[in-house]
Amino acid sequence: MNTHVILKTEGLCKYWGGLRALDDISLTFHDRQLHGVVGPNGAGKSTLLNLLCGHYKPTSGKIIHEGEPIDAIKPWAFARRGIGRSFQKTNIYPSATCLENCCIAAQRRMGGSFNFLRSRHHQTVLEELATNALEKVGLAKRRDQVAAHISYGEQRQLEIAMVLATSPCVLLLDEPMAGMGHEESLLIIDLLKRLKQEYCIVLVEHDMDAIFELSDQLTVMVDGQHLTTGSVEQVREDPRVREAYLGQGDEVY
Amino acid sequence: MLFQKRTERIFIWVFFPLALMMPLFLEQNTFYVSKLTTIMIFAIFVMSLDYLVGRCGLITLGHAMFYGLGGYIFVMIAPEYDAVNFWIYTFYICAISALIALVIGFLVLRTSGIYMIMITLAFAQMTFYFFSDSIEFGGNDGVFIYVKPDTSLFGISMFDLDNPIHFYYLCLLSLFNTLFFFRLVTRSRFGRVIDAIHENPGRTTALGYNVFVFRLMAYVMASALGAYAGYLFTMQYGFVNPSMLSWQTSGSALVMSILGGLGTLYGAILGTVVYEGLHYVLEHMTEHWLLFMGALIILMVILFKNGIAGYLEKLLEKRS
């Protein structure tokens, strides 16, 4: 893997009291690649994402973004550095329209949020950025609908659009396909295939079909620990993975 | 259009012309003029609270602290027997109370929900006892102001504050400006972030906004306007006393803002007028007016889900 390393963790640990949620994780995330993270429940996947986006502070270890350690900065500053995330549980502004949801995201990128006056010019630019983000995820037709009234799958797409509107360099996606039907999942898989050509994506997902299909790099975690990282083929053939994660059975999923 | 909602535009076109003409009908009766003036002043205070509670989601029970401070700052910095300039002192009072709000907000806004209610209340009570126990500020009697400020701006005096009708117009103008100002803020890019924070603070942080700083700005703004209202009140009655700082003042302002319709801003005016109107009418009918007042308020809160403004919106917006 010769591509540019955007985000890196070194010996990342997170303890909750005596519980080791995450233990000594060192990973590298590359530009224009999708890095899948799988593992059974409680493996620490979501904790890893929460650390990467600054939502939790690591107990020890480092997070390095573009060569600079960022584990001590504030949660909101992570997003300012271009690390955007979506949540496991849909996290949008339900009372606002899809366009407004994306506008507020784009506005952070554009600045001027301490401006107390309205500016028509600014609004046009914002709406353009927001519309672009909606088009990227295929939600342009829902532009003026209130977010609470669109389907669940569309809300998940909207959340990705909001992250895109902040012009991120890293996308941290926490189970974007959770609770989706087959058809909707296919849409998201398609979307992620397109997005990974432009962004570094870290994807936590339970849908094995999807993650095997999408990942350039795949990390398996068990009990807060790093088991293995490699290409999908390498991971699939690793006997330890079969044993630890998939159990003794013959069926992979 | 700045005032987006039809109901709000109708309200403005009905309320402000009526209020403008009011002194013509009441010319003989300065009692009513001064009563109305007090209502206008308090509506400014309620609106600033409504912005905090309804738009920012910051529930405070200590907003009266700034109402009182507006008055006390004035008696502290103004010379006792000289008329000061109204506009310059407006600036001073807003600036000083904004600074105080910056410090207090810095502490208070680290908490949220019930804890924030408690801490704001604690700060307000501390201020209350500080002034009611201090001999220098007249204890429970407060301080009298002997000379009203003059309102000349670039050598032109617009209002004679000794004249109740002039003062009434000054307060009405202030009320309109406050509504105008808050509406400008809510429609601005800053206001959008505030709305986003109110709806979903976690998401807003994840988008890269420093939620604390935005809340602090809003808190400072609302507190300075609350202090301005207190300054006007002090001006009207010529004295300041600790009851302005009491939690009852905060509480009744909160009731008015809920009655009017939380977060609607113009609802604060409706809430204040209706509350004070009921107060006046019931007070003259019975000694136990508080009992009936309480019952009426419970009834209204049940009947109008989003306050009076919410009810009017349901009536008026549907037909458009």
Host domain of residue A107: 94-167
Prediction pTM value = 0.91
Contact B202 A103 (CB under 8 A): no
The answer to the question of residue A44 being in a domain is: no
Q: How many domains does chain B have?
A: 1
The answer to the question of residue B155 being in a domain is: yes
pLDDT at B193: 95
Q: Residue A251 pLDDT more than 70?
A: no
Contact A75 B209 (CB under 8 A): no
The answer to the question of residue A246 being in a domain is: no
Contact B206 A55 (CB under 8 A): yes
| pLDDT tens-place string over residues A12-49 | 999 988 888 999 999 999 999 999 999 888 888 989 99
| pLDDT tens-place string over residues B30-40 | 888 999 999 99
- In B, minimum Cα distance to A107 occurs at B189
Residue of B186, B189, B193, B209 to mutate, interface with A, max A Cβ within 10 Å = B189
Contact B202 A91 (CB under 8 A): yes
Mean pLDDT of chain B: 91
The answer to the question of residue A150 being in a domain is: yes
The answer to the question of residue B265 being in a domain is: no
Q: How many domains does chain A have?
A: 1
At residue A236 the predicted structure's pLDDT band, cuts being 50, 70 and 90, is confident
At residue B275 the predicted structure's pLDDT band, cuts being 50, 70 and 90, is very high
Sort out which chain A residues have CB atoms less than 8 A from B211's CB and list them. Answer: 76
Contact A117 B192 (CB under 8 A): no
ipTM of the complex model: 0.88
pLDDT at B101: 97
The answer to the question of residue A191 being in a domain is: no
Sort out which chain B residues have CB atoms less than 8 A from A169's CB and list them. Answer: none
| pLDDT tens-place string over residues B178-218 | 999 999 999 999 999 999 999 999 999 999 999 999 999 99
The answer to the question of residue A178 being in a domain is: no
The answer to the question of residue A134 being in a domain is: yes
Q: Residue A244 pLDDT more than 90?
A: no
Q: Residue A252 pLDDT more than 60?
A: no
Q: What is the mean pLDDT of residues A136-163?
A: 92
Sort out which chain A residues have CB atoms less than 8 A from B187's CB and list them. Answer: 118
The answer to the question of residue B5 being in a domain is: no
Sort out which chain A residues have CB atoms less than 8 A from B306's CB and list them. Answer: none
pLDDT at B100: 97
The full 3-state SS of chain A, as one line of letters, equals CCCCEEEEEEEEEEEECCEEEEEEEEEEEECCCEEEEECCCCCCHHHHHHHHCCCCCCCEEEEEECCEECCCCCHHHHHHCCEEEECCCCCCCCCCEHHHHHHHHHHHHHCCCCCCCCCHHHHHHHHHHHHHHHHHHCCHHHCCCEHHHCCHHHHHHHHHHHHHHCCCCEEEEECCCCCCCHHHHHHHHHHHHHHCCCCEEEEECCCHHHHHHHCCEEEEEECCEEEEEECHHHHHHCHHHHHHCCCCCCCCC
> Shortest CB distance from A107 goes to which of B184, B189, B217?
B189
At residue B234 the predicted structure's pLDDT band, cuts being 50, 70 and 90, is very high
In this structure, of B57-66, B131-140, B233-242, the range with the lowest mean pLDDT score is: B131-140
Host domain of residue B174: 31-246
